[in-house]
């Protein structure tokens, strides 16, 4: 089986349009490009050569029949809409089933920005839910549970000012998108990002503005907002009884993340952010569209008339903006590059929290909660404990942990502790340089970050254990 190339008329670029769903597809006459395969299907299976062909561009006598089913007219390069669609859905489905990311007893919260990736994620999860509902309705003797689905939109207008009428319109559009989807009903949660900063003494919007004002680095500011967005989603999921969070991050988003993390010196923690599952949070995060390209998803929205919104899409700035233009350039040169980047980063060893505890049989209704219980784990607690940065939640590397252990007991103020418990990247990009500003920055941080900072033992326990090692009873002493 191989990946194929299709000509996407949108911007006149070549993109990979077929993967898992294209088994047994017939390759017609065409020029073999002879490049190494970089489509994720081949990448994932470690496969070798890909058969490729070029298709004449629009009006150049391109094929009129779909190369897979040979029945319908090709609308995207060599595929008909149906085959293109099922190939994309197959990638989503493969990610979901092979990592048990959606179980019948789950209650999922889907982060919805209105962009094409989250729109497709919503559509696919909805279709899966409908199928589960049909199966449940069909079963007489035993009622199968159907997973729940809610949708969350983070209103970031406090951080990126846009007219309130635009936000209102977007929320209206989202509600109509959701009400147009068949039952089961999906709740829409609109979360103003400043909610996470709200405190008794100060209103969230002002507090967030002051907090952001303290971050002078433009990249740091953007990354910090991204982290706050995730905290908002976590909080909403937790308060409303959702047990998993679905993000629409696709291969294109992830390739940007990989290069940006490399540039920012976040190589150690990078593998944590690019897996299908990220269970370091109280509510585990899933990326079921990880193998789909951004262009494929936009194309599907266009062909399927899925309404997308463009609310907070002012583009990135700083390092993130540069990386974004760099990737666009690479893609124009060779559309497979995004997949190649993701595939390369995939070789890094993931962390222990990058998987859900395995179930013996995904068909029975065992939940991850049940497994946690069996392993005596509390929600949010991973099997192996990584020390996480209090600001961005990246795992700290060995030298950061060493510094923390040596200095944490000499900390006199919380702001000092704040500095020590951050990863180097946050220290450099986000924390203010002046000690007095750090104090102010610390006082403005969201309560959930401060609580985490106070409650975390940060290796204190290990240090204590080392100091009193000789006085501790060993296991054999205990037996006797
Ligand atoms: Zn077809
Ligand atoms: Zn950090």
- Average pLDDT over the chain reads 78
Given this model, what pLDDT does residue 58 score? 41
Q: What pLDDT digit, counting tens, does each position of 312-353 carry?
A: 777 788 999 999 999 999 999 998 899 999 999 999 999 989
CATH of the domain at 294: 3.40.50.620
* Domain total in the chain: 3
Residue 122 placed within a domain? yes
- CA–CA distance, 105 with 92 (Å, rounded to integer): 19
Q: Which of 459, 402, 393 is CA-nearest to residue 422?
A: 393
Asked whether residue 15 carries a pLDDT value surpassing 60, the answer given is no
> How many CB atoms neighbour CB 297 within 10 A?
26
pLDDT at 401 over 60: yes
More confident residue, 176 or 374: 176
Q: pLDDT band for position 31 (50/70/90)?
A: very low
Whether the predicted pLDDT of 109 surpasses 90:
yes
User: Which residues face 389 on adjacent strands?
Assistant: none
92 in a structural domain = no
Ligand closest to CA 80? 1
Greatest mean pLDDT among 149-153, 307-311, 405-409 lies in: 149-153
Domain finish residue from 65, 87, 109: 87
112 and 217 part of one domain? yes
Question: Which ligand ends up closest to the CA of 84?
Answer: 1
In a domain, 421, yes or no: yes
Average pLDDT of the residues in 23-36? 30
* pLDDT tens-digit readout, 205-254: 889 999 999 999 999 999 999 999 999 999 999 999 999 999 999 999 99
Ligand closest to the CA atom of residue 394: 2
User: Where does a domain end: 30, 58, 87?
Assistant: 87
Determine the distance separating the centroid of ligand 2 and the alpha carbon of 204, expressed in angstroms. 22
360 alpha carbon – ligand 2 mean position (Å): 35
Which of 347, 367, 387 terminates a domain? The answer is: 367
Crossing angle for the helix pair 218-239 and 318-333, to the nearest 10 degrees? 90
User: Which residue range is the domain that position 19 belongs to?
Assistant: 1-87
Contacts of 426 (CB under 8 A, 6+ apart): 220, 389, 391, 392, 394
Question: Percent of the chain at pLDDT above 90?
Answer: 46
Residues 77, 120: one domain? no
Residues 230 and 194 in one domain: yes
Q: Please report which confidence band the pLDDT of residue 409 belongs to, taking 50, 70 and 90 as the band edges.
A: confident
Residue 378: inside a domain: no
Based on the fold, state whether residues 240 and 343 are members of the same structural domain. Answer: yes
302 Cα: distance to centroid of ligand 1 (angstroms):
17
Q: What are the start-end ranges of the H helices in 139-245?
A: 164-180, 204-213, 218-239
Share of the chain above pLDDT 70, in %: 75
Pair 333, 428 in one domain: no
387, part of any domain: no
Residues in the chain: 480
Same domain, 178 and 119: yes
Residues 225 and 302 in one domain: yes
Would the pLDDT of 51 be above 50? no
State pLDDT tens for residues 93-106: 999 988 888 999 89
**Rounded CA separation 100/96 (Å):** 6
- The confidence band for 456, taking pLDDT boundaries of 50, 70 and 90, is low
Higher pLDDT, 406 or 96: 96
In DSSP terms, which residues pair with 79 in a beta bridge?
Answer: 76
| Predicted local confidence at residue 68, as pLDDT | 87
Q: How many angstroms separate the alpha carbon of residue 118 from the centre of ligand 2?
A: 26
User: What is the pLDDT, as a whole number, of residue 140?
Assistant: 72
Instruction: Return the closest-CA partner of residue 118 out of 294, 281, 237, 272.
Output: 294
Q: Do 207 and 313 belong together in one domain?
A: yes
Question: Does 292 lie in the same domain as 210?
Answer: yes
Q: Say how far apart CA 224 and CA 210 lie, in whole Å.
A: 13
Tell me: do 130 and 75 sit in the same domain.
no
Is residue 11 over pLDDT 60? Answer: no
pLDDT higher at 450 or 477:
450
Q: 228 CA to middle of ligand 2, Å?
A: 12
What is the mean predicted confidence (pLDDT) over 282-294?
Answer: 94
Cα distance between residue 289 and residue 229, in whole Å: 19
Judged by its nearest atom, the ligand closest to the C-alpha of residue 393 is: 2
Residues 168/155, Cβ–Cβ less than 8 Å? no
Q: Give distance in angstroms: CA of 337 to centre of ligand 2.
A: 28
**How much is the pTM?**
0.78
Other C-beta atoms closer than 10 Å to the C-beta of 292 total: 27
**Could you tell me the distance, in angstroms and rounded to a whole number, from the CA of residue 304 to the centre of ligand 1?**
15
């Amino acid at each position: 089986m191989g990946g194929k190339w299709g000509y996407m008329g949108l911007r006149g670029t070549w993109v990979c349009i077929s993967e898992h769903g294209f088994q047994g597809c017939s390759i017609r006459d065409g020029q073999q490009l002879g490049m190494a395969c970089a489509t994720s299907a081949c990448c994932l299976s470690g496969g070798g050569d890909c058969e490729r062909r070029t298709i004449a561009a629009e009006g150049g006598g391109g094929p009129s029949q779909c190369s897979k089913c040979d029945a319908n007219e090709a609308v995207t390069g060599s595929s008909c809409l149906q085959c293109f669609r099922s190939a994309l859905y197959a990638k989503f489905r493969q990610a979901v089933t092979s990592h048990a990311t959606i179980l019948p007893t789950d209650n999922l919260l889907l982060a919805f920005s209105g962009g094409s990736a989250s729109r497709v994620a919503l559509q696919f999860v909805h279709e899966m839910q409908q199928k589960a509902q049909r199966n449940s309705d069909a079963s007489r003797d035993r009622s199968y549970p159907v997973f729940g689905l809610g949708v969350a939109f983070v209103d970031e207008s406090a951080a990126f000012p846009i007219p309130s009428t635009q936000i209102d319109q977007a929320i209206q559009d989202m509600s109509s998108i959701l009400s147009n989807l068949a039952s089961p009903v999906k709740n829409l949660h609109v979360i103003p990002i400043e909610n996470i900063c709200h405190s008794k003494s100060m209103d969230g919007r002002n507090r967030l503005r002051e907090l952001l004002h303290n971050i002078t680095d433009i990249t740091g500011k953007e990354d910090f907002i991204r982290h706050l967005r995730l905290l908002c989603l976590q909080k909403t999921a937790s308060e409303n009884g959702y047990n998993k969070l679905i993000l629409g991050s696709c291969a294109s988003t992830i390739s940007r993340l990989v290069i940006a993390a490399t540039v920012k010196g976040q190589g150690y923690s990078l593998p944590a952010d690019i897996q299908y599952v990220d269970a370091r949070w109280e509510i585990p995060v899933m990326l079921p569209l990880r193998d789909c390209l951004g262009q494929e998803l936009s194309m599907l929205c266009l062909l399927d008339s899925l309404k997308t919104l463009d609310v907070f899409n002012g583009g990135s700035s700083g390092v993130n903006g540069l990386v974004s233009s760099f990737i666009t350039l690479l893609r124009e040169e060779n559309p497979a590059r995004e997949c190649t980047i993701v595939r390369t980063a995939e070789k890094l060893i993931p962390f222990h929290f990058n998987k859900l505890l395995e179930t013996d049989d995904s068909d029975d209704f065992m939940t991850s909660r049940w497994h946690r219980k069996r392993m005596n784990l509390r929600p949010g607690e991973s099997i192996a404990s990584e020390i996480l940065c209090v600001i961005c939640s990246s795992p700290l590397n060995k030298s950061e942990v060493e510094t923390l252990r040596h200095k944490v007991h000499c900390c006199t103020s919380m702001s000092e502790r704040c500095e020590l418990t951050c990863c180097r990247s946050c220290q450099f990009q986000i924390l203010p340089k002046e000690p007095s500003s750090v104090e102010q920055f610390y006082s403005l941080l969201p309560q959930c970050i401060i609580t985490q900072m106070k409650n975390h033992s940060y290796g204190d326990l290990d240090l204590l254990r080392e100091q009193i090692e000789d006085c501790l009873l060993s296991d054999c002493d205990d037996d006797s």
